[in-house]
Structure 1
Amino acid sequence: MGRELPAIRFRFAEVDREAYGDGWHDFDQEKLNGLRARALMALDDELRAELGLSVVSAVASMLRGEMAGTVGVMWLALHLGGSPVKLADFNPLPMLAEMQLGDPPAEGGDQ
């Protein structure tokens, strides 16, 4: 994505934790940056079909506080973490999720 993003962490609302996981979820920029072109294009296609946003625009939208971007980034974090949940089936309560934005993680630091 070119530049280092702030650390993005979230925890789903209690009612969503059984479906999407308990604990904190991190948006893994390194993992996203390490995806091959075809994998990135497939993510772009899925996000565009469901939310009208590309991967890059979903992150930018989330950082502006827009709901579609927030949902997109939450799903991307799950997807990059290995979750099989399809975006078309992803329907959390994003306004009730706890979100944390911070400085980018330091090299070799704990996340």
Structure 2
Amino acid sequence: SCGEESSPSRSSSASVSSSSSRKTLTHTIFEFSVMEYVMCNSCKSISKPFFVDSYILYTYATSLMQTKRANPSANFGSLMQITSDPGKRSCPNEKVCKKKCQVQKYVCTAPAVMTVGVVWESPKA
């Protein structure tokens, strides 16, 4: 399972991590898997977990700079965590519960080397 004891585990119908079937150097060094789900603190509903494999964690330069100004003592890891927060989503049981819930994210498999892509916005699109 991925994450904390209270987090949902990967179902048997979910595909096996691509890193187990591909043995390239890129996969071995840079690939990481993340699980995210929404859990309502009010009604205790939990969404179906969503899994994604990636090689680069992207963030926007302006977001990093704004976050650093608001949190001058934050280190780079903390800044990345704050800027990658997707915000609140509707309760998984939104027909009954109207609360907004925080998205829970867990790294299932950590890479040997974490690659961060900093996106520089341009006024010319």
Higher helix residue share:
1
TM bin, normalised by shorter chain, reads 0.3 to 0.5
Q: Which has the larger radius of gyration?
A: 2
TM-score by length of 2: 0.30
- Select the structure that is richer in strand: 2
